[in-house]
Structure formats: C-alpha cells, structure tokens
Structure 1
Amino acid sequence: MFSPQGPSLRELAVQALSSVERGYDLLAPKFDHTPFRTPDGILDATADALRPLGPFDRGLDVCCGTGAGVRVLQPLCRERITGVDFSAGMLSQARDAHPDGEWVRADVRAMPFAEAFDLAVSFGALGHFLPDERPALFAGVHDALRPGGLFAFPIAAPQPITSPLYWALLGFDLSMRVRNTLWRPPFVMYYRTCGLPEIRDDLTAAGFTVTTVPLTALGRRADGTPLCRLVLARKTG
C-alpha cells in the first residue's frame, strides 16, 4: 500500500490523532508516496475531459495539497496557476515542486479571491468537509471565479452493497466517527458524505449550473455505468 519512502504506521497514527491541519503538516514530506495522493490516471482523465472546454486563462487548485493538480491546470491555462490550502507543510512541498505557481495559505471556506479565475479544480478534498460546511466552500469557489468560470472535480460512483469496497468505506467512516467522538481535536475525513445528488444541490444553491461527464478512461461498473464522473459547475452570468 505504501512505498518504502512513505510514512510508517507510527507516523500515520500520530497524524490520525492530530487535527486535519496538523496531520497534513506532518504527512506532507511523504504524502506523494502514499495512496492518498490523487493518481495520475484521474488527473489525466480530468484534463482530457476539460480540454475541449478551454483554453482558460487563470487556474485555481482548491485544497491543492502538494500540487498534483498542476498536472491538470498547466496544459489548460494560459496564465498563472494558483493553489490554496490551509496546511503550511503541504504548501511548502507544492512550492518546492512547482516554483512557478502561486501558493496561498487560507481556509477554503473563506478564500481571499474575488472573480480572479476562469477554472477551478479540486481533487480528493470533499471528504474533509462536513455536509454543513460545503455551502461555505462552494460559495467561496463561486466568488473566486469570473462570470462563466468553471469548477470541476471528479466524483466516484457509489459502490454497490455487494462490493467489498462498500463495506471497507463504511467501516472507515464508522471508525472515524468513533475516533472523533472519543478524541479531540477531530480529524474530518469521510468517504460516504459526498453523494452526487447532495453535492449537486449544494452547488446549485451556491449559484452554479451543474452537469457531469463520464470519465470513461477510468473504467465502468458491471452494469455499464462509469466508475467516475467529472462534475462541471458553471458560474452563470
């Protein structure tokens, strides 16, 4: 599961018993050697789906982590790329890997941007926000985009109840709820709070027009439906 350059079990345990911000600060130097980093296949499929909708001028990676989203934004955006995250450790890694980018430390629920970007992307971050926090996140992205701007992120299809992964994700979420009941500060990371219908409703309430496209390069389920879709939220006006 982890490469030899990845974190030890002890390091993961310390991270899991920290806050989200402190945990990612600790994990940052080894994050790209863990399965938590968004795989290149997902990044490339996202870039392929967005390419016909561009080109774009300025791009924003929301909850950028170590900067993996640069792989998507760089070939699509003609101007400067910006990443925003609240972990100083993750931003330090992103800055070292991509010195041409602009890396901003901020809480994405209150981003310091106003109509500055044409394209915003995000990868693997929604599970770090409780459902009642999503409206603030989406409102911040909406404010950061220029009129007509696009917010895009991949979302996996729900697992059937017969799938071992369904039970693995359910078990993980339950263990996180127990951990957050018994231990402070909380570490918010849930896999089953980000269903497409709920996300679509929250995006629409924030002022976006929402569509999806299948990321067929990532495969299909047994019933023929795509394993992953790209959510395309367009700021109207």
Structure 2
Amino acid sequence: MFSSQGPSLRELATQALSSVEHGYDLLAPKFDHTPFRTPDSLLAASADALRPLGPFGPGLDVCCGTGAGMRMLEPLCRGRVAGVDFSAGMLAQARGAHPEAAWVRADVRALPFAEAFDLAVSFGSLGHFLPAERPALFAGVYRALRPGGLFAFPIGAPQPITSGWYWALLGFDMAMRVRNAVWHPPFVMYYLTCPLHAVRDDLTAAGFRVTTAPLAALGQREDGSPQFGLVLARRPERPD
C-alpha cells in the first residue's frame, strides 16, 4: 500500500497518536506517497461530471491537504483558486506544488469567506468531522459561495454487509473509537459516519439544494448502481 518513499510504521504510529492537526503536519512531507491521497481517477471523474456545469469563476478546495484537488479545480475555474486547511505542514506541501494558487490556514468549521466563490470542492474530508460538526462545516461553505454557487464532493456507495470492505471499515472505526476513548488528544477519522442520507439532510438544513450525479467511470456494484457519486449542493440564487 505504501511506496518506499512513504512513511514508516513508526511514523504512522506517531501520527495516529497525535491530534488531527499535528498528525497531518507530521505526515505532510510523505502524504502523497500514501494511499490516503485522493486518487487521480477520482479527481478525473469528478472533473468530468463538473465540466458541463461550468465554466466557473473563483474556486475553493475545502480541506485541501497537499493540494491534489487543484489538478482538477484550476482547469474548471476562470477566476482565482484557493485551498483551505488547518495543517500548516499540508499547506506547505500544497504551496510548493501549486504556487499560483492562494493557500489559507483556517478551521473549516469557521471558514473566513463570504460570497467569494462560484465552486467549492472537497475530497476525502468528511470522515474528519463528527456528525455534530457537519452543520458548521456546511454553513461555512454556504456562506463562502456566491448565490448560485456549487459545492461538490464525491461520496462512495455503502458497502454491503457481506463485503470484506464493510468489515474492514467497521473495524477501523471501532479501533479509532477505542483509541479516542483512552488516548488524548483525539484523532477524528471515521469511514462510516457520513452516509449519503445524513449528509443530504445536513446540506439541506444549511440551505443547499442537493442532487447527485453518478461517477460511472469508477465502476458499478453488483446491482448495477455506481460505486461513487458526486454530491452537487447548490446555493440558491435567492433564499428559499
């Protein structure tokens, strides 16, 4: 799973026993050599789904990490592009890879923007927020978008209970809950706490109009449904 340039087991253990912020600061120099980086196939499929909805003006990558999302965000946007994250280490890597973009260090649960962007995207970040924290995250993205702006992020289909992946993800979440119960500071990263129906409800409560688009290029499940979909949350031109 890890290349020779990736973190060692000892480095991963140190990161896992840190806070989320400090853990990612430690992991940042080697993050792009781990399976945690957003795959190029997911970025490409998301860009393909968004392209017919554009072109867009300014764009924002929420929880940008080392900046992988900029590869798809920049070609979609005619205005300035920016990334926001709370890890200084991850932002340093992003800035080195994409010096032309703006990089902002902030807690995304209190985004420091108001009606500044036409498009916001996020990749692989929802598991870092407890369900009770999602309303603040989504409210901040809503404020950051101009009227008519779009918030988009991919989400995987739920794994069937007969799947090995389901039990692997459940086991990871249970291990993380035990870790956070006995060790502080907590490291919040869960895979099964953000099902589509709950995310849709929170987005709707924040004021978005929510649809989804299949990412067919990423494959289908046995029942023919897509493995991944792109959530499209639109800020209305006028409040409902």
Report what 2:230 is aligned to: 230
Residues 119-164 of structure 1, C-alpha deviation per residue, up to 9 Å, x if partnerless? 0000000000000000000000000000000000000000001100
Alignment of 1:12-31 (within 5 A): 12-31=12-31
Distance in 2 of aligned mates of 1:165 and 1:95: 34
Structure 1 runs (4+) greater than 4 angstroms displaced: none
Count of residues paired in the alignment: 237
Counterpart AA for 2:68: A
Distance in 2 of aligned mates of 1:143 and 1:21: 24
Report what 2:74 is aligned to: 74
Distance in 1 of aligned mates of 2:94 and 2:53: 26
Distance in 1 of aligned mates of 2:179 and 2:163: 25
Counterpart AA for 1:127: G
Alignment of 1:49-60 (within 5 A): 49-60=49-60
The question of 1:101 aligning with 2:89 is answered no
CA shift, 1:172, in A, is: 0.1
Distance in 2 of aligned mates of 1:60 and 1:143: 12
Distance in 2 of aligned mates of 1:122 and 1:197: 18
SS in 2 for 1:121: strand
Distance in 1 of aligned mates of 2:11 and 2:78: 39
Distance in 1 of aligned mates of 2:190 and 2:105: 23
Report what 1:197 is aligned to: 197
Counterpart AA for 1:161: I
Distance in 1 of aligned mates of 2:9 and 2:220: 33
Distance in 2 of aligned mates of 1:141 and 1:68: 19
Residues 48-99 of structure 1, C-alpha deviation per residue, up to 9 Å, x if partnerless? 0000000001000000000001011111001111000000000000000000
Residues 156-185 of structure 1, C-alpha deviation per residue, up to 9 Å, x if partnerless? 000001100000000000000000000000
Residues 17-51 of structure 1, C-alpha deviation per residue, up to 9 Å, x if partnerless? 00000000000000000000000000000000000
Distance in 1 of aligned mates of 2:58 and 2:5: 34
Report what 1:91 is aligned to: 91
Alignment of 1:49-198 (within 5 A): 49-198=49-198
CA shift, 1:200, in A, is: 0.2
SS in 2 for 1:7: coil
Report what 2:32 is aligned to: 32
SS in 2 for 1:115: coil
SS in 1 for 2:153: strand
Distance in 2 of aligned mates of 1:133 and 1:74: 28
Q: Which runs of 5+ in 2 are unaligned?
A: none
SS in 2 for 1:226: coil
Counterpart AA for 1:54: G
User: What root-mean-square deviation, in Å, do the aligned CA atoms of Structure 1 and Structure 2 show?
Assistant: 0.3
What percentage of residue pairs aligned between the two structures are identical?
79
Distance in 1 of aligned mates of 2:163 and 2:186: 29
SS in 1 for 2:75: coil
Counterpart AA for 2:7: P
Distance in 1 of aligned mates of 2:57 and 2:210: 21
Distance in 1 of aligned mates of 2:144 and 2:68: 20
